[in-house]
Amino acid sequence: MAREMLSMRKLSEVLRLRLGQKVSVRKIAGSCCLARSTVSDYLVRAKAAGLGWPLPEGMDEERLEQLLFPAGEAPASARAPLDMAYIRNEMRKKSVTLQLLWEEYRSHTPDGYGRSQFCQLYGDWLGKQAISLRQEHRAGEKLFVDYAGDTIPIHNPVTGEISRGHLFVAVLGCSNYTYAEVTATEKLPDWIGAQVHALEDINGVPLVVVPDNTKAAVKSPCWYDPDINMTYQEMAQHYGFTVIPARVRKPKDKAKVENGVLIAERWILARLRHHTFFSIAEANEAVRRLLIGMNAKPFKKLPGCRKSVLDEIERPALKPLPEQPYELAEWKYVAVNIDYHVEVDGHYYSVPYHLIGQRVLARFTQAGIELFHKNKRVAVHARNHQKGRHTTLAEHQPPAHQKYLEWTPPRLLSWAGTIGPNCAEVARQILASRPLVIHGYRPCLGVIRLGKQYGNERLERACARALMLNIATYNRIENMLRTGRDKVPMPEPDIPCPVAVHDNLRGAGYYQ
The string of pLDDT tens digits covering residues 27-53 is 887 777 677 777 888 888 888 777 778
pLDDT digits (tens, 9 = 90+) for 467-476: 988 888 888 9
**How far apart are alpha carbons 259 and 294 in whole angstroms?**
14
Stretch 217-241: mean pLDDT, rounded? 71
Three-state secondary-structure class, residue 368: strand
Question: What is the separation of C-alpha 84 from the centre of its chain, rounded to a whole number of angstroms?
Answer: 35
Examine the pLDDT at 364 and tell me if it is beyond 80: yes
- pTM for this model (two decimals): 0.53
In what side-by-side order are the strands of the sheet with 208-210? 178-183, 162-172, 142-155, 208-210, 242-243
* Residue 251 pLDDT grade (very low, low, confident, very high; cuts 50, 70, 90): low
Give the orientation angle of helix 441-454 with respect to helix 409-417, to 10 degrees.
Answer: 20
Q: What is the pLDDT of residue 223?
A: 42
Q: What is the β-pairing status of strands 368-373 and 178-183?
A: unpaired
CA angle (269 as vertex; 264, 274 as ends), nearest 5: 160
Write out pLDDT tens, residues 304-328: 888 988 888 888 889 999 988 888 8
Residue 372 predicted with pLDDT over 90: yes
Q: Say yes or no to pLDDT of 455 above 80.
A: yes
Residues 84/125, Cβ–Cβ less than 8 Å: yes
Q: In this structure, which amino acid lies at residue 458?
A: R
pLDDT, tens digit, for every residue of 347-358?
Answer: 999 999 888 889
Confidence class of residue 101 from pLDDT cuts 50, 70 and 90? confident
Least confident of 298-302, 326-330, 338-342, 482-486: 298-302
Residue 329 banded pLDDT, cuts 50, 70, 90 = confident
Which residues are registered as beta bridge partners of 380? 370
**What's the rounded mean pLDDT across residues 56-60?**
74
Report d(CA 358, CA 338) in Å as an integer. 10
Contacts 24+ apart (CB under 8 A), 33-37: 34/10, 34/77, 35/76, 35/117, 35/120, 35/121, 35/124, 36/120, 37/114, 37/116, 37/117, 37/120
Report the distance separating Cα 483 and Cα 194, nearest Å.
43
Q: What is the pLDDT of residue 389?
A: 85
